[in-house]
Structure 1
Amino acid sequence: MVSKMLYRSIVGVVMSVSSCYALATDGLFLEGFGAVSRGMGGTAVAHYVGPASMMVNPATMDLSDATGEVLLGFDFITTDISASNRVTGERVSSSTHSNNRGPYVAPQLAFTRKFSNWTVGAGMFAQAGVGVEYGKSSFLSRSDVGGTGYAAGADTGLENASRLFILDIPFAVSFKVNDRFSIGGSLDAKWTGLNLDYLLGMNQLGSLAQNGRASGSLIGLISTLPDPRGVHLSVSKNKEISSGADGWGYSGKLGLLYKVAPTTNLGVSYMFRSHMNDLKGRGTVTAVDGIIGNVPIDGEVSFLNFNSPAKLDVGLSHQVTDKFLLALDVSRVFWKDALKDIEVGFTSDAGGVDLKLPQNAKDQTIVAIGASYAATQNLTVRAGYRQATQPFNDEGLLALIPAVLQKHASLGFSYNFSKSSRFDAAYSHAFERSMTNRSAYNTSSPVRSSIAQDNFVIAYNYSF
Structure 2
Amino acid sequence: MSQVLRLSSAIALSGLAFSAQATNGYFTHASSVRAQGMAGVSVAMAHDALAAASNPAAISALSAEQQLDAGITYFKPERSADIHGNGFGIDGHYDGNDSESFLMPELGFARKHSDHLSYGLALYGNGGMNTDYGKNPFANFGAQGSAGVNLEQLFITSTVAYQFNDQHALGLGLTWVRQQFEAKGIQPFAGMSQDGSAVSNQGVDTATGWGVKLGWQGNLSDSVTLGASWSSAIRTDGFDRYRGLFAENGGFDIPENYSAGVAWQVIPALTLAADWQFIGYGSVRSIANELDEGGPLGADNGSGFGWESINVYKIGVEYDVQPGLTLRAGFSYCDQPVLVNQTFFNILAPGVIQKHASLGATYAVNDSNDVSVAYTHGFEETVHGSGSIPANFGGGEADITMFQNQLALGWQVKF
TM-score interval, smaller chain: 0.7 to 0.9
Deviation digits for residues 116-168 of structure 1 (CA, Å, limit 9, x no counterpart): 11110012101113312111xx2514223xxxxxxxxxx86422122111111
CA shift in 2, pair 1:126/1:389, >3 Å:
same
Structure 2 partner of 1:390: 336
Higher strand share: 1
Q: What secondary structure sits across from 1:127 in the alignment?
A: coil
- Structure-1 separation of matches of 2:92 and 2:21: 24
Deviation digits for residues 390-445 of structure 1 (CA, Å, limit 9, x no counterpart): 12313334212123321100001101001110101111111111123423189655
Structure 1 residue 263: deviation in Å?
Answer: 0.8
Select the residue among 226, 235, 239 that pairs with 2:202.
Answer: 235
- Any unmatched runs of 5+ in structure 2? 1-19, 290-296
Structure 2 partner of 1:140: 137
1:255 corresponds to 2:218: no
1:453 corresponds to 2:404: yes
Tell me, yes or no, if the aligned pair for 1:104 and 1:130 is still in contact at 8 Å. Answer: no
Query: Normalising by the residue count of structure 1, what TM-score does the alignment of the two structures yield?
Result: 0.75
Select the residue among 299, 322, 330 that pairs with 2:276.
Answer: 330
Query: Normalising by the residue count of structure 2, what TM-score does the alignment of the two structures yield?
Result: 0.83
Structure 2 partner of 1:163: 150
- Structure-2 separation of matches of 1:403 and 1:267: 28
Select the residue among 402, 420, 426 that pairs with 2:374.
Answer: 426
Identity of aligned residues (%): 21
1:408 corresponds to 2:375: no
Deviation digits for residues 153-207 of structure 1 (CA, Å, limit 9, x no counterpart): xx86422122111111000111000010000010000011112113365xx888x
Deviation digits for residues 236-261 of structure 1 (CA, Å, limit 9, x no counterpart): 3xxxxxxx111111111101011001
Matches within 5 A, 1:150-229: 157-199=144-186, 201=188, 208=192, 215=194
CA shift in 2, pair 1:355/1:102, >3 Å:
farther
Structure 2 partner of 1:95: 97
CA shift in 2, pair 1:24/1:417, >3 Å:
same
Moved more, 84-93 or 168-177: 84-93
Select the residue among 19, 40, 43 that pairs with 2:41.
Answer: 43
- Structure-1 separation of matches of 2:186 and 2:258: 37
Tell me, yes or no, if the aligned pair for 2:74 and 2:407 is still in contact at 8 Å. Answer: yes
Tell me, yes or no, if the aligned pair for 2:167 and 2:219 is still in contact at 8 Å. Answer: yes
Tell me, yes or no, if the aligned pair for 1:141 and 1:158 is still in contact at 8 Å. Answer: no
Name the Cα RMSD after superposition: 3.0
Tell me, yes or no, if the aligned pair for 2:143 and 2:187 is still in contact at 8 Å. Answer: no
Structure 1 residue 353: deviation in Å?
Answer: 7.2
Higher relative contact order (CA 8 A, sep 6+): 1
Deviation digits for residues 3-55 of structure 1 (CA, Å, limit 9, x no counterpart): xxxxxxxxxxxxxxxxxxx9621123201110111111101110111011110
Q: What secondary structure sits across from 2:253 in the alignment?
A: coil
- Structure-2 separation of matches of 1:156 and 1:387: 36
CA shift in 2, pair 1:401/1:125, >3 Å:
same
Structure 2 partner of 1:107: 105
Structure 2 partner of 1:73: 71
Structure 1 residue 102: deviation in Å?
Answer: 4.2
CA shift in 2, pair 1:232/1:164, >3 Å:
closer
Structure 1 partner of 2:54: 56
Equivalent position amino acid for 1:412 in 2: G
Structure 1 residue 337: deviation in Å?
Answer: 2.2
Larger radius of gyration: 1
